[in-house]
Chains A and B, each alone.
Chain A
């Protein structure tokens, strides 16, 4: 469904030149969930933004649903692939009601049965019709994230790009949103790419994952390998130890994994 080959992203030039993504390649099968895990500055979100069409400054090959993509995307692409952002407080327009938020993609793409679609998608993301005319400030973080997921789904895309969709939420709300994403995937046969810093979330959601550090993929592995606590790369092992909780003795062995050319 998605193939990325030799993706490089470079921001700026001269002294400010930042090589944010270095030669990243992976493929995602239709209906699978692929995880990108890494710490801040690892380039995981940058990969996602290049895929989504938000960031045109990349080189390499990206193909989605068998079609090679250029940095500039056309309208049809956005019906194929949508994105959910990390911060539910920043991803909804503060002056638009839920209704307006959901209406916008429909009117851009010229759908006629807007009312029916809005009601249906609200039901699907677990919000009743009473939420339709509320403003974002009248919603909790979890409800906002449901609206954001509804907005991504209303064009009926086949690919959903998820950028840390639950890291700003409380754990109990995180569980609800993860369950919702799992259910929607099953119902609609969606393909997910999930970016997260949280190995447990990745292990829970994904089939395959790539571990990124300093812009490069250090290891690609099956989730079953992760569950058996058997990653091979020392960076992945360190990340794994760290996500198991505080262990005074283990911390002294932490290393700083620099850029390996």
Chain B
């Protein structure tokens, strides 16, 4: 199911992506013409609330609801033009080629269906396989996200599992069709730090083993810096800076520097934190 050969061609190419919302008070530009490309890597998109990071993730799957309008000079996934794809083509892409994990698993799982059946169902919508085969695959997948007792979890209902477990189940469900690209929108912000890292480790391993691309959307700059390969820093719908995660400490843009500086440090001296000074000029000079 993996893409045959993508040498020299990025998995995802985005040029001049815009998302606009017409409101009574005028046009609100959630995303203002951003461009980036993604290979088989872990790409982080970091920004504060209202930076347009979630809208960017959603527009790749064409999931921006009305009245939002998405436009782009180029939005290409593995040679497919997302902007001009038909709704039927998009249904094939969603879930099978590109999956998305959201912040709160409780809203994404059907509350009256056993979680195992939901995972098996997700598999069967894309693969014409017998029930027994789907069940076996679902159990394998639960094991792959390191659930200790997959048989028991398979039979559980969503309300019977903890937040961390729920997020693992969501990841299992999203990864069972073996997608080429996973978009994770704040997948772990509702979880405790240790559980958060365990879930990220699962994602990390799966990305490495299967050669997927991962877009990791988060507000947590230090987490993204330690987890991803590259980081996109967004502010007010624009990209301020794209840099290698390893070199984030050497980032040049004042916004990135401001974000890094205003984080309290465990070994800091407890004096006043530097407050981020915003500059309207940043809106004009996005990447």
**Interchain CB contact under 8 A, B274 and A245:** no
Residues 247-287 of chain B, each 1 if its beta carbon lies under 8 Å from chain A, else 0: 00000000000110011111110101111100000000000
Chain A at the B interface: SS class: helix
Nearest CB in chain B to that of A249: its residue: B201
**Interchain CB contact under 8 A, B258 and A172:** yes
Question: Of the 9-residue stretches A78-86, A131-139, A176-184, which lies at the interface with chain B?
Answer: A176-184
Q: If the complex has contacts A203-B264, A246-B226, A248-B204, are A172 and B48 also in contact, measured as CB distance less than 8 A?
A: yes
A171 CB–B CB distance under 8 Å: yes
Q: If the complex has contacts A40-B192, A172-B275, A182-B272, are A245 and B262 also in contact, measured as CB distance less than 8 A?
A: no
**Interchain CB contact under 8 A, B270 and A204:** yes
How many Å from the CB of A224 to the closest CB on chain B? Answer: 10
Tell me which of A175, A223, A254 contacts B276 (CB under 8 A). Answer: A175
**Interchain CB contact under 8 A, B273 and A254:** no
Please report the C-alpha to C-alpha distance between residue A182 and residue B269 in the assembled complex, in whole angstroms.
13
Nearest CB in chain A to that of B196: its residue: A242
**Interchain CB contact under 8 A, B275 and A176:** yes
**Interchain CB contact under 8 A, A242 and B193:** yes
Q: How large is the interface on B (under 10, 10 to 19, 20 to 34, 35 or more residues)?
A: 35 or more
**Interchain CB contact under 8 A, A171 and B48:** yes
Q: If the complex has contacts A200-B264, A203-B266, A245-B222, are A239 and B193 also in contact, measured as CB distance less than 8 A?
A: yes
Q: If the complex has contacts A245-B225, A246-B226, A246-B227, are A226 and B262 also in contact, measured as CB distance less than 8 A?
A: no
**Interchain CB contact under 8 A, B265 and A179:** no
Chain A residues closer than 8 Å to B268, beta-carbon distance: 200, 203-204
B71 CB–A CB distance under 8 Å: no
Please report the C-alpha to C-alpha distance between residue A203 and residue B270 in the assembled complex, in whole angstroms.
8
Nearest CB in chain A to that of B228: its residue: A246
A247 CB–B CB distance under 8 Å: yes
**Interchain CB contact under 8 A, A200 and B265:** yes
Chain A residues closer than 8 Å to B259, beta-carbon distance: 171-172
**Interchain CB contact under 8 A, B197 and A251:** yes
Chain B residues closer than 8 Å to A205, beta-carbon distance: 264, 270
B198 CB–A CB distance under 8 Å: yes
Please report the C-alpha to C-alpha distance between residue A243 and residue B262 in the assembled complex, in whole angstroms.
16
Tell me which of B223, B265, B267 contacts A246 (CB under 8 A). Answer: B223
Please report the C-alpha to C-alpha distance between residue A239 and residue B197 in the assembled complex, in whole angstroms.
11
A240 CB–B CB distance under 8 Å: yes
A39 CB–B CB distance under 8 Å: yes
B108 CB–A CB distance under 8 Å: no
A221-261 interface (Cβ within 8 A of B): 223, 226-227, 229, 238-240, 242-248, 251-252, 254
**A residues within 8 Å of B by Cβ?**
39-40, 141, 170-176, 178-179, 182-183, 197, 199-201, 203-205, 223, 226-227, 229, 238-240, 242-248, 251-252, 254
Given contacts A175-B262, A205-B270, A251-B197, 8 further A-B contacts (CB under 8 A): A170-B219, A171-B48, A171-B219, A172-B262, A175-B276, A179-B272, A227-B267, A245-B226
